[in-house]
Amino acid sequence: IDVVEEFERDPESFSKRYETEQEALRHRIREARELLNDVELSGSLKKAIVDICRRFEVRGHRADFLIARTARTIAAYNQRKNVIGEDVKQAAELVLPHRITRLPFEEPKPVTEMVEGILQQSMTLATERETNEQDDAESVGFGDTKDDDSCVHKDGMRRVRKQFDVG
């Protein structure tokens, strides 16, 4: 109320007082716009976004896309080229509350705590998946010679690679 009354009394001096802050904000937004197309969202965070929307029982896919876009925008605003979990959390807090299905007079579900938990679970699973994929890739070693058609599997057994001549 005080701010509005102050503006109404003297709009010109009110505007001048906030001019420096407004210019800094305009500059930051311009920089974010330039960076936005270069901001990347990892596959694990995309999966986390899908999981968040699924766990909140949001209908359709619009929320997924909006959380991803908003998270990229937040990262760009903060001058980063990679989206982090905190960006996804902030985006979900903006996108989800009015999209969550609930009964009349039912209290809204707490978004922040639930999103943090889902993000933590998703990122842990993604890390485990990456570790398993690396272990699998390292577990198979092919013979040293060019003509060797066998490989040694992580269980120590020698297995034959099958080659097919199609032609």
User: Residue 130 has which token pair?
Assistant: 């990456």
Q: Look at residue 142 and tell me whether its pLDDT is greater than 50.
A: no
According to the model, what pLDDT value does residue 125 have?
77
pLDDT at 135: 62
In this prediction, residue 133 carries a pLDDT of 64
pLDDT at 103: 60
Quote the CA–CA distance of 126 and 158 in Å, as a whole number.
31
Residue that wins the pLDDT comparison between 160 and 72: 72
Tens-digit pLDDT profile for residues 87-137: 999 999 999 988 876 666 767 667 888 899 888 888 887 777 666 666 665
Amino acid identity of residue 111, one-letter, is V
Q: What does the pLDDT read at residue 102?
A: 66
pLDDT at 145 over 80: no
Specify the pTM: 0.69
For 19-63, write each residue's pLDDT tens digit.
999 999 999 999 999 999 999 999 999 999 999 999 888 888 999
